[in-house]
Amino acid sequence: MIKIKLFRAIDDLESCQKFVLGHRHVLENIGIMKVTSSNDTWMHNPGVYVLIVLDTEDGRVLGGARVHVANQEYRLPMEEATKLIDPKVPSVINEYIAAGTGEICGLWNSREVAGMGIGAVFLTRAAVVAAAQIGLNSLFALCAPYTVKMAENVGYEIEETVGNKGTFYYPKLDLLATFMILKDVQVLSKASEEEYAAIMDLIKNPDIKRVETHRKREVNLHYQLVLPEKNI
C-alpha cells in the first residue's frame, strides 16, 4: 500500500530531508541541477506543509509535494523563480494574500510509481485538501505541460496576465511552465464533477484507505491528511 501523509515541515525535519533528497534525484535524472523549490530552506518555514508519498512496507519515499503559505515575510517559491522573467508576478500574488493564499510546489514522484497517477492526480487532489484544511482560499501553481489539464479539472485557471499568456520557460529554457491559480479552494466552482466529488470526499474523510483507479490501473492508497489543530 502507498501512503500520502500530510505534516508541517518544521515538525518532521527528518522526513523533509528525505523529501529533498528524493526530489533532487528525480530532477538530476532529467538534467536539472538547480531549481528554487528543490532547496532545503523551506524546512524551517512554519508556513510550509508537506505531502510525502511512502511505501508502507519499507518506508521508502516515492514522491511528494509541498504547500507554502504566502505572507509578507515568506514569499512564494514561484516569485523567486519568475521575478527576473516577469516582475508583475508578486503584485498578482499580493492581491490574494490577505484572504489566505499559497502555492503547491516541489511536486515529484519516483520512477517506481510513474504512470500510477501519484503526482499528477492524487497529490494534486491532496494538496487542495491540505490547502482547505489550512484555511487557504486560493492556491497558485507552476504546472508542467502534462499537469495543466489535471489542474484545470481541479479548478485551476491559467493566469494570462503574466509571462507569455501565462507561460514561462522554467526551470530551464527547453521546459515550459504554466502559471495557474485556483481561486476558490473552499468551493471549487470550476472543478470537474469527478474531481469535485473526490476532493470533497477527502475533505470529509481525510484519513482513509481506498482503492483509486488511474488509466485502468488500481492503486491502494492510504490518505493521512489530518493536521493537529495546533498546526493549522
Q: Return the higher-pLDDT residue of 35 and 153.
A: 153
Q: Return the higher-pLDDT residue of 128 and 26.
A: 128
What is the spatial distance between Cα 76 and Cα 166, in angstroms, rounded to a whole number?
17
Q: Which three cell numbers stand for residue 98?
A: 490577505
What is the spatial distance between Cα 108 and Cα 182, in angstroms, rounded to a whole number?
20
pLDDT digits (tens, 9 = 90+) for 137-156: 999 999 988 889 999 999 99
pLDDT digits (tens, 9 = 90+) for 104-119: 998 998 888 878 889 8
Give the domain CATH number at 55.
3.40.630.30
Across 190-199, average pLDDT: 97
Across 81-106, average pLDDT: 92
DSSP 3-state of 8: strand
Report the share of the chain in percent with pLDDT over 70.
91
Domain assignment of residue 35, given as a range: 2-231
> How many CB atoms lie under 10 A from the CB of residue 161?
13
**Mean pLDDT for all residues in the chain:** 90
The number of domains in the chain is 1
Across 157-183, average pLDDT: 90
pTM of the model: 0.91
**138-143 and 101-109 strand pairing:** parallel
C-alpha closest to that of 108 among 136, 134, 74, 146 = 146
What is the spatial distance between Cα 224 and Cα 76, in angstroms, rounded to a whole number?
25
| pLDDT at residue 170 in the model | 80
| pLDDT at residue 45 in the model | 94
